Structure 1
Amino acid sequence: MIYNIYFDEANKIDQPGKANSYYGAYGGSEQTMTDITQTIQRMYEELGTKSELHFREYNHDQHLKKYFKVLHYIINQDVNINILIVNNTEAHSIAEQLNLTMMELRNLFYIKIPERLFYGVTRHLHGQLDVNIQIDRNDEYDALGLHSKIKEQMNAHSVYRSKRYKIASVVSEESHESIPLQIIDTFMGIVVFLMEQSYMADSNTTLIKSDLVYRFLSEGGNVERFIKQIKLYSWNGNENLSELSVGNYISQFMVYKARYDVSEIAKLQAIMLKNPGLLAKEYRNLMEYPNTLTRMLLGYKDEVEGRGRNYLLFQ
């Protein structure tokens, strides 16, 4: 059996104004990953889209259906996502104590963090396995010789812990050529969005992202699947990692978003009662929404008319 792992990061330890940096690993059998990739490619063809998935770049809800369908599909597959959150303040403090430059500290973290993440993803594996690791292309990784170091350390872990997997390869890949790398990027983006409570910012982009995340999580059993399949670990300067519950961050978001939506839906309902039979564009103008929030307006309208928020996303 062959098992594939994909690695990506969000924020950096030395990035100004960032309290945390995030590192994610996404794993599944080669057959599962192949099936996922082929299914998503078919979705893209049906939707007539070729653009990549990147949560950071999701700033217009014209792509709502694409992101929603992919996220809904992925969370219902047999995959594991581990995310490690590093407290940047603690990292900076340790660097000062040891008289390390931030570049030296980053170099050390780039070796240790992927190792901890990959071990977390592989520790449940049993039987003889070849593991392939794909990393989003980064010149810093190449300069560090990260690939060979990860391979050596992970194979040492396997032998020491009497596991039967072997790291067969560690390679860099361009994200535009890898749907799984785009998937870990997007799920990490959602986790960062929830943890940092970015949804409280007052901007149209925030509303667009919030609408996507709320629709995705509120569909079926997606909240339960999200909590089950996405594990968060925090490093705060201690040897042992602390496990965090992503459910706490989801609950805070869902409550906040529901309150906002109740107010907006009530406003739309009053407008529709006063002005029946208008086009969606006319209702959007009366709500004073920009064009980038058209799908959010349509979701509210479907809810007012009893079809449910995600009605159009399944048509």
Structure 2
Amino acid sequence: MVSISLFFGLLRHFGKDIYIKTEIFIEEEGKYQNYELEKRLQENLNSQSLYRAEQFWVTNCEMVNKGKMIGVELVDLLLDIIRLIINNKPIPPGLTIEEYAALKLKGLFMKTQLVIELLKIQSFYDFISNIKYYEWDSHKELAEVSFKDYLDLFMANHFREFHT
């Protein structure tokens, strides 16, 4: 389950002298409710903590409605930015908004331009380049991957926009 890898990556490896008790809030979604995601997530994370002798415990996991919790909204926004950087889809340069719309690329173009503008802000660049990112490896283990590598590829793909 992808959600578990995200949370597990955030909670693990804080050291033996730090014990984390945490609550998890998830944006309410029909498909999540059908799977009882909040219950399963809490059980699975706590099982992982016990199994791997990690120092965290999930005390509560619940779904919240969209627009009710700024933290959930912010995480959703950051995940969209991260996904856009990782996917790094090519966009033909130099078209008008109408031409992007005709190619069904207007939304992707606008989002990409926003991310480029945000990355030009040094404090945002510093923040996002230090993200800890985990992927499942071939041994079905979570491995930390340098998110900065993805960021560098994205910036190289959009070199002209960063040097204008």
- TM norm. shorter chain > 0.5: yes
1:234 aligns with 2:135: yes
Unpaired segments ≥5 residues, structure 2:
101-105
SS at the partner of 1:224?
helix
Same amino acid, percent of matched pairs: 21
| Alignment CA distance shift 1:200-1:131 (3 Å) | same
* Residues 253 and 161 of structure 1, relative CA distance in 2, 3 Å threshold: closer
Task: State the 1:186 CA deviation.
Answer: 1.3
RMSD over equivalenced CA pairs, Å: 2.8
What is the SS of the residue equivalent to 1:176? Answer: coil
Quickly say closer, same or farther: Cα 1:219–1:243, change in 2 above 3 A: same
Correspondences of 1:173-188 after superposition (within 5 Å): 173-188=64-79
Structure 1 pair 206/140, CA: closer, same or farther in 2 (3 Å)?
A: closer
1:242-290 deviation digits (Å, cap 9, x = unpaired): 543322332233234342566xx6xxxxxxxxxxxxxxxxxxxxxxxxx
> Does the aligned pair in 2 maintain the 1:199–1:207 contact within 8 Å?
no
Deviation at 1:164, TM superposition (A): 4.3
* Partner in structure 2 of residue 117 of structure 1: 6
| Partner residue, 2:51 | 160
**What is aligned with 2:117?**
215
Report the count of equivalent residues. 151
Q: Which residue of 2 aligns with 1:81?
A: none
Any idea what SS the aligned residue of 2:141 has?
A: coil
1:178, CA displacement in angstroms? Answer: 1.5
Contact 2:9 2:142 in 1 (8 A): no
Secondary structure of residue in 1 paired with 2:49: helix
Structure 1 residue matching 2:13: 3-state secondary structure: coil
Aligned to 1:189: 80
- CA gap 1:156/1:243 in 2 versus in 1, 3 angstroms: closer
**Larger CA Rg, structure 1 vs 2:** 1
Amino acid of the structure 2 residue aligned with 1:148: K
How many Å separate the matches in 1 of 2:120 and 2:161? Answer: 15
The amino acid across from 1:251 in the alignment is D
Structure 1 contact 193–199 (Cα < 8 Å) conserved: no
| Offset, 1:172 | 0.5
Higher relative contact order (CA 8 A, sep 6+): 1
Supply the distance in 2 between the matched residues of 1:253 and 1:226 (Cα, whole angstroms): 13
Give the whole-Å Cα distance in 2 for the aligned partners of 1:155 and 1:239. 19
Rounded to whole Å, the distance in 2 between the matches of 1:131 and 1:168 is 6
Mapped partners of 2:6, 2:19: distance in 1: 20
C-alpha distance in 2 between matches for 1:154 and 1:236:
19
How much does 1:238 deviate?
4.3
> Deviation of residue 133 (structure 1)?
0.8
Equivalent in 129, 140, 148 of residue 247 of structure 1: 148
1:24-43, aligned counterparts within 5 Å? Answer: none
Cα distance, 1:120–1:233 mapped onto 2, change above 3 Å: closer
1:51-74 Cα shifts (integer Å, max 9, x gaps): xxxxxxxxxxxxxxxxxxxxxxxx
Unpaired runs of 5+ residues, structure 1, are: 1-108, 266-315
Structure with the bigger percentage of helix: 1
